[in-house]
Structure 1
């Protein structure tokens, strides 16, 4: 029983929790006053600057342990090494700062725990990140200065009368650089203690910055021309399998090929999640090799593997590789040979098209290669003007660029009014040789209602005459819940789930997107999210929202922290 408990405590997840606990205790111990009798004993044995330096050093150790706990959970070797060393250093600092035996024993116990768990921590460090380095350089002095300010506030007995909170804050920030601040001390040795303590905090910030700067540069990189050519070859032969295949050419994705080169998987690392989208590209028989290479890389770096919007066939491959799958929603596929405006079920679309036609709106379809420079420039300007929000949304079902010469076979649907003014657009990318996938939809909010129906109808008519058999429209999240929940006899759980989604639709376009697709009477094909464990779902969800740009940092912060 004890052996099993000891083995459990040494797993990365439990070790991370214990490190965070010891870090919190260490930080609190450094900020709270020490027992007077113990402190006097320390001052008789060592110079006054030693306890001060040990106190702030312990505060720095506590903060760093708290920061390391996240990396330890992912099994990072460097985090394990640093935490093990800091546990031993922390034990010494607890003794020097005030004979804090209890905290020292806790740190020693942590050292033993980590030292015996070496084989559990093998993940390589994340690739070097300018964003992370800038964050450390900006946030580090703020955190260290805050700790120094708290220390000066709590230990104000040796400061001259009239010292203000602002003086202490300025003194703390300047002290990180070794510069004397405005706080005056009653005795010189008290000023020396404060100076040494603040320099220790500043050195801790510098240490963290150097550690981040020395991270290796290897790892995933955005898709480049060297990778693009073989990926285009796979798309040319196998791109007809998955409607999302072409989105693998996004500029912000990385790619890993199977050992045979016959398949590939594209993904983006978002935080601690290696997020793939859609099915692997290439020969389905070689998909397992590409998935294995991707999972091996995620394991090596301690990333959480996840897949957004895999088809049923792709999800089966990921499940066989050890992941789990959960239905996320359905993709709307319109078959051009079956599409018609006739019949009662198409009355809404038919009326919208008639209304827009009477208003003088005209939709035309063009290959991107056939657009002249002035039209392309106009399309870019209007797409930017009509965009909802400050950033371009989409990852799993969006290309992230518009009218690019690299996408010659993409299709642009342009809708103009009677005066020739552009009022709306659709952008679709190739789906093999006989299909198209909707990438972007924009419209002037002041234009006639029903313009989207007009553009989709003209697109299907145009595509049918050019050998395009199928068109993939928008993705409807939890489509089956709405479809089954509104039927007679739906159970209470399903009705409750539908009610929650209807409430959420007041803030996000969930039901409206389903209704907008359903009016075209499409074929619905399920899409899945694949993940390693249910405990990973919160992180996967946040990563997906970040990748799709539904969670976005403020503009000023994005400018400050380049990728």
Structure 2
């Protein structure tokens, strides 16, 4: 036993060593670059704190002192120990990823070209700008630049052109956002040189992929749009904070930092020579400064970061918070300009360009961000339920009242510690001001304030306590589930397990409402679009109560003033609608594999059997799993595949009866992945369960994605493997789901052709170039399925236009005007 226990740590260590060896073998250039940077730092002494200016690049070094070698040496020698560590980390991560994309030889060439060109171009721009007096706040021409990260950042931007759509967008958006943040706010010379190298790297990348058919613009999924928006909001907060940590910042936008500090040093200097009413407030802030007021000054930054966390989750409350904070910052900047409190020289002064840049930073950026969030509001629909809102409101209100009362009472007791005699009105006004960041109070006068003792302590910290509670309450509200929806969903699922057909599980998806019969034995899942209630799939009811369930739901819609329509129902419900005098039309075809008839023998199955055999021979496996059981690496791969699929579409991701990655996360949903021998996921499919009498009887294909550069035939491999396992498990059917807006030849009688049918055909034609419903339908025919027509039933032909528009809006999920135009253009192109 002791020998076994001793062998286990040795085996783990051996595996770790094997991972390291494989990493080094795959990233030789990146690892070598990290070692070279460390060696250069040690050789030049910058690793120990010595001055390495001799190796740095800059206008003086190149043009005045003739150190022509510095554009090259500056990309190998870091300027400090911290810079060495950060550069090594960048080399082993981002630069290593660039090596995977470009290859070793091409990476070396691109890195040298981008680094040398970047340093030379940046040096020339630096020299030119230094000759313009209006830009002299930018660091001096004598300041040398020692930054190996310049070369690596440029190479990574060049390599991004070869990345997938998901990572190409992320590298560029995140990279340029961070680089611009440090350049424009902190303003150190290294940041500007890195930004220039990144821009040149982007151009080199475009040159590398010249001639390759690629769209210049790629659509983002809802999830990615949320992530990017959250990132930009976070950067607008972290930019000023980075400048604060850098000692106030030297960049052209660093004037905006004054909104996030306790007091304005420039104004304090001016007050020493010239008095204005603003000096009273600045003096009060200086006298009462401390950790508490410092944290209060950073409240806008903290709120923007909290908002960014919520935006990433699609929270509407986070959207409101971000819009309010960004708008207030912009309005404050406008008021500062009007009141003349901006601490720069007047127009015509040599600092006039700084004045304009300050206006862009403090006014333009904030207001533009607020407007952008309003435009993108449809991507953040997740609202907290009523209970969560009441809890948040109660908590914040109670905290505000308690803090205000504490401050008012304490300051009344310790009036003698105030700088001058204080009245009740002064105490009330100052109590309200304690919850406002100091920069927002510049132009509002200054009541008396305490100078020492308990009064000063409460004065400094009461606002911090309130905002701390506010932030914690906001973060907790993000986690509140929508209890009413969850309870309703569980009730629907219980009925679904009794029997809901192959498509009934779609009723559990987010965005659907549920209606129940009076006795609770029947239910209808529906999506309300305007005044149209689109019932989804077959109603849940026992066979003998179909008529009563349908009629009761129709009566419910009449009471609510809605126009009911039943979407994606099967043949067995059509007699009910005929008896009611309703009309119906085909809206798609469901393809169902009857497992008892599945043999995979004969010529008819050859197109399926060959891909499966080839995939098994090449070492592919079909991994059966659930979302909660996936590893972090597997989730990242699935998201990359999904984002690539969305980015390659000219139209937005559809919903309604077409599931996405979010629906694949349901615990009842199975995932079947095609994984290659290198454990790289090539195909992702999700399967919805169908039950009868509490027993699972089948699976229904929903979400299906594949890598654009993956081998052909893997989708057939996954579907057949799923069907064979389902057959072994004793299930009855595997549905390949419905093909929306598609029909088999002769599938609809002429008597059923209506205005709505024509409209749906036009919608299908518009969406076909982007989504290929017809080609998908033909693909599914390989599996020799049984065809089951799906219908839309409706009561009043007068309401057909509204129903058709409701169907389109349900699929596009609150389409924007641009998306509707895209549909029209796609339809026009498809018609040709």
The within-5 A match list for 1:76-155 is: none
Mapped to 2, the partners of 1:391 and 1:501 lie a distance apart of 14
Q: Tell me, yes or no, if the aligned pair for 1:249 and 1:399 is still in contact at 8 Å.
A: no
Would you say 1:455 and 2:714 are equivalent positions? no
TM-score, scaled relative to structure 1: 0.51
The within-5 A match list for 1:174-253 is: 224-239=485-500, 242-253=501-512
1:434 counterpart SS class: strand
> Which residue is 1:323 aligned to?
582
> Which residue is 2:149 aligned to?
none
2:783 counterpart SS class: coil
Mapped to 2, the partners of 1:479 and 1:526 lie a distance apart of 10
- 680, 686, 697: which one aligns with 1:421: 680
Gaps of 5+ in 1: 1-129, 135-216, 486-495, 558-563
> Which residue is 1:48 aligned to?
none
Q: CA deviation at 1:436?
A: 0.6
Q: CA deviation at 1:393?
A: 2.0
Distance verdict in 2 for CA 1:227–1:399, change over 3 Å: farther
Mapped to 2, the partners of 1:249 and 1:235 lie a distance apart of 9
Q: Tell me, yes or no, if the aligned pair for 1:363 and 1:413 is still in contact at 8 Å.
A: yes
What do the CA deviations read for 1:127-153 (whole angstroms, capped 9, x no partner)? xxx9xxx9xxxxxxxxxxxxxxxxxxx
1:467 counterpart SS class: coil
What do the CA deviations read for 1:288-332 (whole angstroms, capped 9, x no partner)? 343334323322343221121101123333444453221223210
- 754, 758, 772: which one aligns with 1:509: 772
Distance verdict in 2 for CA 1:463–1:314, change over 3 Å: same
Q: Which has the larger radius of gyration?
A: 2
Distance verdict in 2 for CA 1:382–1:245, change over 3 Å: same
> Which residue is 1:61 aligned to?
none
Q: CA deviation at 1:368?
A: 4.6
> Which residue is 1:535 aligned to?
798
Distance verdict in 2 for CA 1:223–1:281, change over 3 Å: farther
1:314 counterpart SS class: helix
Would you say 1:467 and 2:726 are equivalent positions? no
Q: Tell me, yes or no, if the aligned pair for 2:541 and 2:549 is still in contact at 8 Å.
A: no
Relative to its length, the structure with more strand (as a share) is 1
2:597 counterpart SS class: coil
Distance verdict in 2 for CA 1:481–1:244, change over 3 Å: closer
Mapped to 1, the partners of 2:819 and 2:795 lie a distance apart of 35
Mapped to 1, the partners of 2:503 and 2:765 lie a distance apart of 30
Mapped to 2, the partners of 1:502 and 1:230 lie a distance apart of 34
Q: Tell me, yes or no, if the aligned pair for 1:428 and 1:440 is still in contact at 8 Å.
A: yes
2:708 counterpart SS class: coil
Mapped to 1, the partners of 2:802 and 2:637 lie a distance apart of 39
Mapped to 2, the partners of 1:270 and 1:484 lie a distance apart of 28
Distance verdict in 2 for CA 1:223–1:517, change over 3 Å: farther
Q: Tell me, yes or no, if the aligned pair for 1:412 and 1:425 is still in contact at 8 Å.
A: yes
Q: CA deviation at 1:381?
A: 4.7
Q: CA deviation at 1:554?
A: 6.1
Mapped to 1, the partners of 2:684 and 2:782 lie a distance apart of 19
Q: CA deviation at 1:376?
A: 4.4
Would you say 1:334 and 2:593 are equivalent positions? yes
Distance verdict in 2 for CA 1:308–1:365, change over 3 Å: same
Mapped to 1, the partners of 2:678 and 2:810 lie a distance apart of 39
Mapped to 1, the partners of 2:817 and 2:664 lie a distance apart of 28
Q: Tell me, yes or no, if the aligned pair for 1:278 and 1:314 is still in contact at 8 Å.
A: no
Mapped to 2, the partners of 1:540 and 1:224 lie a distance apart of 26
Mapped to 1, the partners of 2:769 and 2:632 lie a distance apart of 40
What do the CA deviations read for 1:415-450 (whole angstroms, capped 9, x no partner)? 122321111110011111110111100111111111
Mapped to 2, the partners of 1:317 and 1:399 lie a distance apart of 32
1:519 counterpart SS class: helix
TM-score, scaled relative to structure 2: 0.36
Gaps of 5+ in 2: 1-315, 321-385, 387-481, 749-757, 821-832
Mapped to 1, the partners of 2:769 and 2:655 lie a distance apart of 20
Q: Tell me, yes or no, if the aligned pair for 1:306 and 1:531 is still in contact at 8 Å.
A: yes
Distance verdict in 2 for CA 1:484–1:529, change over 3 Å: closer
The within-5 A match list for 1:234-383 is: 234-239=495-500, 242-368=501-627, 370-372=629-631, 375-376=634-635, 378-383=637-642
Q: CA deviation at 1:236?
A: 1.7
Q: CA deviation at 1:469?
A: 1.9
Number of paired residues?
326
Q: Tell me, yes or no, if the aligned pair for 1:262 and 1:286 is still in contact at 8 Å.
A: no
2:812 counterpart SS class: coil
Q: CA deviation at 1:467?
A: 2.0
Distance verdict in 2 for CA 1:401–1:502, change over 3 Å: closer
Relative to its length, the structure with more helix (as a share) is 2
Q: Tell me, yes or no, if the aligned pair for 1:394 and 1:400 is still in contact at 8 Å.
A: no
Q: Tell me, yes or no, if the aligned pair for 1:223 and 1:251 is still in contact at 8 Å.
A: no
Q: CA deviation at 1:519?
A: 0.7
> Which residue is 2:668 aligned to?
409
